Structure 1
Amino acid sequence: MLELDDIGFCYPESGWVFRHVSLKVPAGAVTAVLGPNGRGKTTLVRCAAGLMKPQEGAVSYDGAVGFVPQARGGAFAYRALDMVVMGRVRQVRLFGTPTRDDRVAALDAMERIGVGHLANRQFPTLSGGEQQLVLIARAIASQSPVLVLDEPTTGLDLHNQAQILSLLRKLVADGMGVLLTTHHPDHALYLADFVVLMDGPDDVRSGPTAAMLTDEALTRLYGIDVQTVTYEQNGGGARRAIVTRYGDELD
């Protein structure tokens, strides 16, 4: 369980990014954070992962949190396996080096994610989708019960987006708690149990996905006409999807 209790974050030069944010990320569930650019989504999940300290409120969690940043290549030519072994840092003793068990755990995580065949490839030579999967494997190798991801599908084609979403669903089915940011409301509609909408320092709303991702809420959030439609899936059953009416910006 990851819990944010009435947290707020402020940059001295620009004021409050958000205030009074409370949410829980339980095991076996996904919480998605949505909002326009510059509303503090990345800052919020970095606070949740313990990488930044909020000025107000508290962050607590059982165990540890695995953080997955946006894949941006790498300046150093580490092997993919070495990148994943870095996720074992909490298991390595002070001044120690990774053990055989750490490498086995890293390889197991890569196999679980489906990138074991990339173990000896140099990380910067991988595609964006492959890099993102390796970073997720690194977080899995940490054996953390909660996974925090910052826009995990950014820059990926439709196939790789679907691969990431399917993988996250499998991890959640295994009992992992997931907190992620996304610029794709459709992804949140498909994946998330709970949604956080960030539209200003004092305008952060959260709740169950079906109640939060309404036409009115999304239109207000993004300032463009957004509609949801319901369709029948090939395997049966109805699903909602999001349609954006480009060119219909709101004043």
Structure 2
Amino acid sequence: MLELRGAGFGYTPRNWIFRDVSFSVPPGTATAVLGPNGSGKTTLVRCAAGLLPVRDGTVHRSRAAGYVPQARGSTFGYPALDMVVMGRARRIGVFSSPGKHDRAAALQAMDRVGIAGLAHRLFPTLSGGEQQLVLIARAVAGGSPLLVLDEPSTGLDLKNQARVLGLLRDLRSSGMSLLLSTHHPEHALYLADSVVLLGPTGVLTGAASTLLTDSQLSELYGVGVSMLTYDDGGTSRRTVVTRYGPGGD
């Protein structure tokens, strides 16, 4: 369980990134944070994960969060399995080394994410999508029921975006709480129960089905947006289409 109440963060008292943000992420649900570049999405999820302290309000986590950063490669040639074992750090003493139980938990997390076959591959040699899945497995290996993800689909092609989103839906269905930032409203429509919109005129929070509308997204991003409905194997879903061209018309 994750809950923010009146949360605010700024690097100086006169330079607030966001203020008065309140929402909760109950077990088995997903909340997506959306907004234009520079709106504070990454800062907000880092505060939620406990990596940055809020300056106003409170952040309550029933358990330490598993944090998944954006995959940016690595200059260190660790095998993927060793990268996932690092997710066990909180469970390993400061002066201790990972044991058989930790490696077994890491392998189990990789299997759950569907990348057991990558265990001995060097992390820098993996594709962007594979690296992102390794980072998710690392967070899962820590055993937290709460995952906080910073733009988990950044830089991924369509196939790997679908792979990551499908995995996150499975994790949510298993009872995990998910908080993620994203540049893709259609991903929020597919995955999220609730959304946090960081806009130029303030912060809106609420149900994804209520806030993710043509008019709301057009105002949030300053460009024309249309909502389309399509059939997905008998399930009616919505997606977002940006209206390109002069004025976004």
Number of aligned pairs?
249
> In the alignment, what sits opposite 2:245?
247
Any idea what the Cα deviations from partners look like across 1:2-28, whole Å, max 9, x if unmatched?
111111000129700000001101110
- Matched residue of 2:171: which SS? helix
AA matched with 2:150: D
Identity across matched positions, percent = 60
Contact map agreement 1:73 1:123 (CA 8 A) in 2: yes
Name the residue aligned to 1:188: 188
- Deviation readout 1:68-89 (Å, 9 max, x if unpaired): 0000000111111111000001
Match of 2:106, SS state, is: helix
**3-state SS of paired residue (2:87):** helix
2: CA distance between counterparts of 1:189 and 1:26?
18
Task: Output the CA distance in 1 between the equivalents of 2:148 and 2:160.
Answer: 19
In the aligned structure 1, how far is the partner of 2:112 from the partner of 2:48?
25
What do residues 43-69 of structure 1 show as CA deviations (whole Å, max 9, x unaligned)? 000000000011111111112200000
Shift of 1:250: 6.0
Structure 1 residue 171 corresponds to structure 2 residue 181: no
After superposition, where does 1:1-251 map in structure 2 within 5 Å?
1-12=1-12, 15-200=15-200, 203-233=202-232, 235-249=233-247
User: Structure 1 stretches (4+) deviating beyond 2 angstroms?
Assistant: 248-251
TM-score (norm 2): 0.97
1:220 offset after TM fit, Å? 0.2
Secondary structure of residue in 2 paired with 1:190: helix
Distance 1:79 1:232 in 2: 41
- Cα RMSD, aligned residues only: 1.4
Quote the offset at 1:229 in angstroms: 1.5
Paired letter, 1:27: P
SS at match of 2:224: strand
Q: Counterpart of 1:249 in 2: which secondary structure?
A: helix
Matched position secondary structure for 1:103: helix
Could you tell me how far apart the structure 2 residues matched to 1:61 and 1:194 are?
Answer: 18
> Per the alignment, in what secondary structure is the counterpart of residue 53 of structure 1?
coil
Gaps of 5+ in 2: none
Aligned-partner residue type, residue 188 of structure 1: A
Distance 1:232 1:68 in 2: 31
Gaps of 5+ in 1: none
Q: Aligned equivalents of 2:82 and 2:186: distance in 1? A: 34
In the alignment, the residues of structure 1 paired with residue 98 and residue 13 of structure 2 have an alpha-carbon distance, to the nearest angstrom, of 41
State how far apart, in whole Å, the 2-side matches of 1:186 and 1:148 are: 19
Normalising to structure 1: TM-score of the pair?
A: 0.96
- CA distance in 2 between counterparts of 1:39 and 1:14 reads 16
In 2 relative to 1, CA 20–98 (structure 1 residues): closer, same or farther, beyond 3 Å? same
Residue type matched to 1:185 in 2? P
